[in-house]
Amino acid sequence: MSAAQTPLDRTPSGTRDVLPDEMRELRAISERIRRVFEDAGYGEVYTPALEHEHTFRRLGAAGAQPSYRVFDEHGSVLVLRPDVTVPIARLAATRYAHSEPPLRFCYLEHVYRGVRPQRGESREFLQAGVELLGVGGPVGTAEVLGVLCSALDAAGLRDYRIGLGDATLHPTLLDAFGVSRQRRDSILTELAAGDFVGADRQIHQLGLAPDDADLLMRVARTRGGPEILEGQPPALHEALAGLRETHAMLEPAAAARLIFDFGLVRQLGYYTGAVFEVYDPGHGMPLGGGGRYDELLGSFGRPLPAVGFALDVERVHIALAGEERGRPRVGGGG
Amino acid sequence: MSALRIAVPRGALFGPTLDLLDAIGIDTTEVRRNDRRLLFEDSGIVTMRPSDVPTYVEAGAADIGITGKDVLMEQSERELYELLDLGFGRCRMVLASVAGPDRAAEALRRLGVVRIATKYPKVASAHLLATGRQAEIVEVKGSVELAPLTGLVDAIVDLTATGTTLRENGLEVREEIAVCTARLIVNPVALRLRAPEIDALMERLGAV
């Protein structure tokens, strides 16, 4: 047999080697982002790639689910981290158990997820993120959104926008209409999956007045500038007041990047307030996102309000290349 | 900004989709005149197989698209928004077997497993699992009706509009799994970055 390649010579599906040209660009982007985080007072931490499985079990189904499990030499089950927010919650509750909040951390770490076939998804990808622990409500959210915009500016993106919503909007509204918990969760699942046709059908089966059912769907489809925060149903006033305050606290350049989006529902279940996602015409998928998770640290015994985000560095790189090509993939009709 | 790029399905949904686009003021004359061209810059239309529409829309290569609910059910893991039921292209996803005594039921009773041929393996296995039956799914690409007639399988899961093809091949509908119509789907990034254009389009569609 010749020295022909056997299947074992390839990297596993969903993984790849990074060669020098790409590596230089990725390093440059990462370094610019890291500098922004550090300058904003977020100290860089590194948590282990391997964690105890029960660290991620604390959240039940609400958190990112580990896809890779290994046994150590004592038979304990370890997992490859599927996100960094949970390890930082653990770190804050153990290593900073008696420190005076607020705590500010940033990280550049690879996370490990399962992939769906033929989507160019990665089993291992680099996240750049921050966590702000101990600052609640609009103040903390606005600070982190400011850092996010500075990081994207430093990375070199010109045309990005930030979608901003609130995880409590739809639950609050459905509760206000007296929808049962089971029905409510079923509708929220449809909205999270982006199936507005299914959500519409379920809402119209609730037996509400037609105007009320239409209102629920209209809210889910509402996105735009700060003007959409006005004239909404009273049940939403508290959440919308929070978004309005957040908007008012931002620097004008960052505020101009916002798209308010009442239909924005993040996949992870631990968000308790503001949620956001980063969009750029250079990439067909969000570049990253985050939000408030005021109850996560409590499950590690250190109750503190918290907010954070993570950027997918490879997607930021692809979006940059897309912007440079001058022919964005999204909306590129000509 | 440039026009929205619209993924249009060829096949059974092609005609009604073009009629709908005409009705909301998107000119499809070029598309109708050219059977082989795939990309039409002026109208923003790109044409493709219905099952490719979610692929283009999810990646952002098209901002919006039109395809059948059957395709979306089979590709349910795609990250995109399903905004509107367009109502046309109405079909039923059914389980059918050779007319007369139900061979599928007999296979389950005596052999414990029912063999099913389909172009929709995910929909078929989900339906059989949900109804508590053990199934062996055989994926075929061409005419599914042939499979039970030759003894390859006990039953099929397939899409039918009028039931004529099933009847002409001596097959009988045993169960209805879902009713499928054409849907409007949108890329998650386009939904936000092209919100004004997409909302305007939705409004015109709602008025048709």
Give tens-digit pLDDT for A83-93: 999 999 999 99
Measure CB to CB from residue B190 to each of A195, A261, A331 and give the nearest one. A331
Contact: A286, B4; criterion CB under 8 Å: no
Contact: A331, B195; criterion CB under 8 Å: no
Task: Quickly state the pLDDT bin for A3 (edges 50, 70, 90).
Answer: low
| Res B3 pLDDT > 80 | yes
Contact: B1, A116; criterion CB under 8 Å: no
| Backbone torsion region of residue A99, taken as left when φ is above 0, otherwise alpha when ψ lies between -120 and 50, otherwise beta | beta
How far apart CA B47 and CA B33 sit, in angstroms, is: 13
Place of tokens 């109750």: A303
Structure ipTM: 0.84
DSSP code at position A225: S
The nearest CA of chain A is from the CA of B61 a distance in Å of 6
| Res A60 pLDDT > 90 | no
Burial of B67 (0-12, 13-18, 19+ CB in 10 A): buried
Sequence-ordered list of residues with C-beta below 8 angstroms from that of A108, at least 6 positions apart, any chain: A30, A33, A34, A44, A126, A127, A128, A313
CA angle in degrees (0–180, nearest 5) for B89-B93-B96? 135
**Strands B114-118, B135-139: pairing kind:** parallel
Task: Quickly state the pLDDT bin for A2 (edges 50, 70, 90).
Answer: low
| Res B1 pLDDT > 70 | no
- With CA atoms as reference, report the closest residue to B8 among B141, B184, B181, B159: B184
Give exposure, A82-106, as e/b (b: 16+ Cβ within 10 Å).
bbbbbbbbbbbbeebeeeebbbbbb
**If you measure CA to CA, which chain B residue comes closest to A165?**
B192
Residues of A in Cβ contact (< 8 Å) with B1: 331
Sequence-ordered list of residues with C-beta below 8 angstroms from that of A21, at least 6 positions apart, any chain: none
Measure CB to CB from residue B60 to each of A194, A330, A334 and give the nearest one. A330
How confident is the model at residue A327, as a pLDDT?
A: 53
Average pLDDT of span A240-264: 95
| Numbered residues of chain A with Cβ closer than 8 Å to any chain B Cβ | 116, 119, 161, 163, 194-198, 200, 221, 223-224, 259, 261, 277, 279-281, 283-286, 329-334
Task: Quickly state the pLDDT bin for A65 (edges 50, 70, 90).
Answer: confident
- With CA atoms as reference, report the closest residue to B70 among B95, B43, B90, B96: B90
Mapped onto helix, strand or coil, the DSSP state of residue B207 is helix
**If you measure CA to CA, which chain A residue comes closest to B199?**
A221
Contact: A261, B192; criterion CB under 8 Å: yes
Q: What is the mean pLDDT of chain A?
A: 91
- Which tens digit of pLDDT belongs to each residue from A158-212? 999 999 999 999 999 999 999 999 999 899 989 988 999 999 999 999 988 888 8
- Which tens digit of pLDDT belongs to each residue from B170-180? 999 999 999 99
| Res B206 pLDDT > 90 | no
N residues, chain A: 334
Taking a C-beta distance cutoff of 8 angstroms, is the pair A294, A305 a contact?
Answer: yes
Query: What tokens were used for B45?
Result: 């239309």
The nearest CA of chain B is from the CA of A185 a distance in Å of 18
How far apart CA B22 and CA A233 sit, in angstroms, is: 37
How confident is the model at residue A265, as a pLDDT?
A: 84
- Which tens digit of pLDDT belongs to each residue from B9-33? 999 999 999 999 999 999 999 999 9
Contact: B80, A161; criterion CB under 8 Å: no
Contact: A284, B60; criterion CB under 8 Å: yes
Sequence-ordered list of residues with C-beta below 8 angstroms from that of B76, at least 6 positions apart, any chain: B122
How far apart CA B17 and CA B34 sit, in angstroms, is: 16
The count of CB pairs under 8 A between chains A and B is 86
Identify the H or E element spanning A220: helix A210-220
| Res B35 pLDDT > 60 | yes
How confident is the model at residue A5, as a pLDDT?
A: 61
CB atoms within 10 A of CB B98: 18
The nearest CA of chain B is from the CA of A282 a distance in Å of 9
Place of tokens 């037609």: A210
Percent of chain A at pLDDT above 70? 95
Contact: B193, A261; criterion CB under 8 Å: no
- Which tens digit of pLDDT belongs to each residue from A153-168? 999 999 999 999 999 9
Average pLDDT of span A108-126: 89
Task: Quickly state the pLDDT bin for A64 (edges 50, 70, 90).
Answer: confident
**If you measure CA to CA, which chain A residue comes closest to B5?**
A333
Contact: A195, B63; criterion CB under 8 Å: no
How confident is the model at residue A51, as a pLDDT?
A: 96
How far apart CA B179 and CA A197 sit, in angstroms, is: 13
How confident is the model at residue B174, as a pLDDT?
A: 95
Contact: A285, B60; criterion CB under 8 Å: yes
Look at A213 and A267; give whichever has higher pLDDT.
A213
Sequence-ordered list of residues with C-beta below 8 angstroms from that of A230, at least 6 positions apart, any chain: none
In order, the DSSP letters of B143-175 are: -TTHHHHTTS-SEEEEEESSSHHHHHTTEEEEE
Task: Quickly state the pLDDT bin for A40 (edges 50, 70, 90).
Answer: very high
How confident is the model at residue A316, as a pLDDT?
A: 97
How far apart CA B124 and CA B140 sit, in angstroms, is: 13
| Res A328 pLDDT > 50 | no
- Which tens digit of pLDDT belongs to each residue from A284-296? 999 999 999 999 9
| Backbone torsion region of residue A14, taken as left when φ is above 0, otherwise alpha when ψ lies between -120 and 50, otherwise beta | left
The nearest CA of chain A is from the CA of B207 a distance in Å of 16
How far apart CA B181 and CA B159 sit, in angstroms, is: 11
How confident is the model at residue A332, as a pLDDT?
A: 44
Contact: A197, B188; criterion CB under 8 Å: no
Burial of B185 (0-12, 13-18, 19+ CB in 10 A): buried
H-helix segments, B34-100: 53-59, 69-74
| Res A115 pLDDT > 80 | yes
- Which tens digit of pLDDT belongs to each residue from B118-139? 999 999 999 999 999 999 999 9
Percent of chain A at pLDDT above 90? 77
| Res B99 pLDDT > 60 | yes
| Res A120 pLDDT > 90 | no
Average pLDDT of span A50-74: 89
Mapped onto helix, strand or coil, the DSSP state of residue A261 is strand
How far apart CA A11 and CA B71 sit, in angstroms, is: 32
Taking a C-beta distance cutoff of 8 angstroms, is the pair B146, B166 a contact?
Answer: no
Q: What is the mean pLDDT of chain B?
A: 94
Average pLDDT of span B139-160: 95
Place of tokens 């930021």: A316
Contact: B3, A333; criterion CB under 8 Å: yes
Strand partners, B40: B45
